[in-house]
Chain A
Amino acid sequence: SAVISQKPSRDICQRGTSLTIQCQVDSQVTMMFWYRQQPGQSLTLIATANQGSEATYESGFVIDKFPISRPNLTFSTLTVSNMSPEDSSIYLCSVWDRNYGYTFGSGTRLTVV
């Protein structure tokens, strides 16, 4: 399956600031996704990162708050903007491969203080 490197693995940020999370895949993939997982909770899809075009956001998530870039088929970034304590969560990058299904990165554990 694809190997995903996600950075940073964790961070503690001040409210009102922004954090950019990077997702690097070791092979070209068509579909890349960003998920949020609050501690002890399930995973919620934030958006689908589309290569060369704007990301597709799920209900409740907006581009101004979670801008996403995907400059090529192996890399994407998610920015959490103007953070508040409610944004404290684990953010996960995921890719889809027709042979292996979905693969997830190890996640970025974000704490906003």
Chain B
Amino acid sequence: QQQVKQSPQSLIVQKGGISIINCAYENTAFDYFPWYQQFPGKGPALLIAIRPDVSEKKEGRFTISFNKSAKQFSLHIMDSQPGDSATYFCAASKGGYQKVTFGTGTKLQVIP
């Protein structure tokens, strides 16, 4: 299975709150899990990525949590800001340079 399932489809969070997006995968050969942020009219931009040898990676307000046994990973956005309003895609690939399988996307809206 090459699918990556992502939820929720949309999310509304108050400014200062925590945004949480979840993803699950089937293919145990995946070993690279990036998250992308996409603003309207732009291509996706790499936000943060993790490999399965660590359970958590943090960069600023963005944290990936990874559960290898459950084949799940999630993105947490702390202190969410209106500027974070965008569509977020989780993804997975083998080896990092192989073709990337994208999740279905989550449209995040952060309201003041």
Binding site for B on A (CB under 8 A): 1, 4, 30-31, 33, 40-45, 48, 58, 92, 94, 96, 98, 100-107, 109
Contacts and interface: CB of A to CB of B under 8 A. Distances in A.
Contacts of B104: 41-42
Interface of B: 32, 34, 36, 41-46, 49, 89, 96-97, 99-100, 102-105
A18 B59 CA distance: 43
A101 B45 CA distance: 10
B97 A45 contact: no
Given A42-B104, A42-B105, A43-B89, A101 B43 contact: no
A106 B41 contact: yes
A33 B44 contact: no
A101 B36 CA distance: 11
B46 A43 contact: no
Nearest to B104: A42
Contacts of A1: 46
Contact of B34 (A31, A58, A101): A101
A102 B46 contact: yes
A96 B34 CA distance: 13
Nearest to A9: B41
Nearest to B93: A102
A105 B36 CA distance: 13
Among A31, A42, A44, A45, chain B packs the most CB atoms within 10 A around the CB of A42
Nearest to A105: B43
Given A42-B102, A43-B89, A100 B46 contact: yes
Nearest to B45: A104
A48 B100 CA distance: 11
A31 B104 CA distance: 24
Contacts of B100: 45, 102
B99 A42 contact: no
Given A42-B102, A42-B104, A96 B97 contact: yes
